[in-house]
Structure 1
Amino acid sequence: MRQKCRLNVQRLTLNVSFLLILSGLIIYTSPSRLFAAPPAQAPDVPPSVSDGRALWAENCQPCHGPAGQGDGPASANIPDPLPNMTDPENAWQYVPTENFDVIKNGRIEKLMPPWGNQLSDAQIWDLTAYIWSLSLKPEEIAAGETIFSQQCAACHGSSGAGDGPEASAPMVSFTDLAAMSQRSQAKLQANFQASEAHTSLNSLSDQELRQVLSYVRTFSFKLPQRNGVLKGQVINASTGQPLGNLEVTLRIIENNVEVERLTTQADSAGNYTFEKLPTDHSILYVVEGRYKDITYFSNQPGLFTPNSSETTLDLKVYETTPSAEAVSVSQFHYLMTFKPEAINVVQVFMLSNSGNKTYVGTEGRTMPFALPANAQNVTFEDDPTGQRFIKVDSGYTDTEPVTPGENTSSIVAVYNLPYKDTLTIAVPLPADVVSANVLMQAQGAKLSSEQLEFVETGEFQGTSFSIFSAADLKKDQPLTFQLTNLDKLTFPAETSAPGAVAPAGSVDQNLLRWIVIGLGAAVIVFVAVGYPYLRPQAAGQETTAEDADLRRQKLLLMLARLDEVFEAGELDRQVYHRARAKYKTELAQLMEG
């Protein structure tokens, strides 16, 4: 079983030329920046890693990547490799004031723009703290805390202020922001090793020393609280009974990246608990478990609401069936963009399962399907190993099980269709289709079909598409339509050269994603605003009176995050209003209840 978490890549991009122009303007309007920047002042209060996280996602992630590995979508346009901030060896040498200066004043020669005209000093310090945290693992901090409590607190005090009962005056205060902001971890290590007072601690290994010094930094940089408790229960949703003794994994997601993974064993009644979790409500949780060789994920994201240190997140698993009776294609999307001599196609089947058992097919093969006869350069999304889809005489077959619920699996094929003046396209349907949408980039072609009706011309991320729809299509009747006027197509300047056929994989997947969202796949909007591992709610599942209050709080948080994403310009207006209406409707129903 190869079900997996699907990461949501941020859709932000930065134009390097614009950065250069912006940087030049800033330098031009600020003559003092032509000279060496003054030393960074110390922060007034301990910088917050949590506040820095939000600033990072908004301002830094496009270039530096969600985890700080220098792999953001705009990094390809920057000549020099960006630093990997998750590398502990690099981070060990970071001096906080130096990082502060780079963020505030920029490094024009490296195409790093100055942020001092957009962010306050306090915000830049929060970013500095967050950058420090990127190379850390929570277990390292926890181990360092234990060592400090046992071997250091007697002199340095439990708060690191140098006021322990065995302190000899004067003692270094790790809460001194001016001093700590000037010292790298390497400098702290050198000071420790040079002090005669630490000779009794020579038994510490290099790893233990690094752990305790990482913890020492938390006296001047404020880490998120880790007092959260997440509880849940494994339920066999096919029988309605708890399922005990199953290994359960908790995935912790920050900025759409998995940053931590914890594992525990459910007890005989299926109950499990994860403790010492960060309670920032920007952090999301996904529970995962494997039952009968199939991996299942929690139906909703787990998160801590403000001023709460407890949350619940259950995991539902299912029995299996070889029968496809309950499986249907709930949504079918067909996207066409034109290149000279070929059409780039993205074909999407969204599969649903109205039963209460996971459909597994026979001999590991689940959903057989075919593509148009003249499809070329066929590739599939969500198939990193190249083993999910098997070529057979009749076309292809999927090996992915279909779990109960709406839109729980998808088949995304990308291919080219060669054309001349006209082209008839017949798309075989693997099952009955509830609703279908065909989107054709507005480049002069005309579409006619007895099955499709024209809906409107819509704008998606600045590109115009003609939208056609159909409903209740039957498996034994392929979706057929004819394209004409293909000899009169218009192309952007960069694709006007004859014979330039783009490979299938070059289709803009982000554009497809926005189109699918705009057509009403609201669960994908949820993905866009913060839950990259979403699994739709199982059929027949309802919100109980017990968790209605928690659900209301979560909906309010989702609405707030949706507003933030829209205001940042990362979400289409049409998508935003549809998603907001959906969540507000559910919230209103809960309020009335």
Structure 2
Amino acid sequence: MPAAGASAPGCSPGRWLGALTVLLWLGWPAVPVQAQDLVPGRSWAAAGETTFLQNCAPCHGPTGAGDGPVMVEQNLSAPGLSDPERIAQGSPADWFRTTRDGRIENLMPPWGNQLTDAQIGDVVAWIWQLSTSPDELNEGARLWATVATPLGDRDWQTLALTANHQAWAESVTASLGEQQHPVPTVGELRLIQRYLQSLTLTPDWTNPLRPGTGVLNGRIRQLSPGAATDPPTEVRMQAQVGETVLGTYTVPVAADDTFILEGVEPAPRILWTAQAEQANLDFASPPVRFDELGRTPELMLDLYLPSATHGNLEVESLQLVLALSGEQLLVGQTVLLVNTLPWVFTGESETPETLPVTARIPIDPAADEVTLADFGRTRFTAGDGFVLDSVPIYPVSGRHQAVLGYSLPWPLADQRWRQAWPYPVRHAILLIADVPGLEPEPAGFVQSGERELNGQGFTVWQAADLADGILDIEFSGPAAARTGAAGQQATATQVLPEPAYLMPRWLPAALALILLAGGGSLLLVGLRRERQGRDA
């Protein structure tokens, strides 16, 4: 949400060119969104934080102080969003409309073509939270109890969301005057309004899941032959909005493999999944949500036993990105696995073709920050030198793509990085960041070109038909035995290749991800760390 109310100290062509650059960098939509008088629905500040840091903090700063790096670089100023006096001049509905529809005269582009109304509502909740506190809301709740009865049945909660503080205070004062009831002070009226706003804009210090009438029913299905030796006796029910987990409940599994969770809030925005562990693997059901009538389909949690062998899995394509960051080697990879057999081996016996196999993905035993991308959900078990991915791969040309990232301490032992797949690798591409004094030598690979993205050079290597599945890269040169390149630190998740979604030609997506890792993701992580440092 770049700079609502941004002001430029001067009108030089260079400065306005900088402002135009800001707008282009933020992706100005071609078609403005039509203005509508909408009030944000039930929103969560916890879900809005990530969206705020990604889209708004570059201008407004990670704490809403108006000190974002984009504004600082362009010598512009953005309004502070954590100032209670400034915030009181508008209403949550005003902030919602401004974010969605923009204010072109103040260099604020509309975000309605890039964010959903729900996402914008969460951002509004996060902005609102920046200028309030738990003590204020508790006091506001106490004060509201003293005036709720004389104020009558008018929808004061909606008015608190749609009116600024002055208009709100005038309406409450007039209504209490008609009832000849004592009128709270200006400061008390503000606390009451903030409390009523909190009934819609949920702060992250409160329980984001409210009690309700919702009921979730689920069932476990064992799809491997033979009985599991350690079937789960309980299931974790997880609620999330977007990528933000709101809460987790644990419920028992009945003798007939069913489970139930009662008394939850039936909000349609909340996604529910059932999760359980079996044979050291984590499994998750497809997500469900309540409809507008408070109904939800049954949760189906399918469990499998790990396959004793890998059947006939092959790595159809493997994409690796290696980069140095301080004293870490960051590894990101996208792997596309295919099951080519009309049957597989599960347990110790041959089974029908409907049964899947479990992917075994090799990683270095020293790997840290292991991440297997799956829309924010954990779905793997890390062992000593491997990861078991619990998403099943079915036979008859079944395909599955995994995106994995981790970090290794640098320099490497024996100055070598090695990965041994239990499956043949049909096609592999390496993108290795160029570091002065460092010479990579990938065995069996042919150098196919150079790339320079966002100021960082990469060497591209390719190989085909690695029947033994072994990737072996030896690093030589002075840099192979010392700390990696200095500068801004990164994390393993920042070099994750962009998922190609089962398309064989995924190299452009990988290059785009490297560009993102060099810019937007580093900025996001930097902003998070800066905010955490200030909070500390």
With structure 2 as the length reference, what TM-score do the two structures score? 0.49
Taking structure 1 as the reference length, the TM-score comes to 0.45
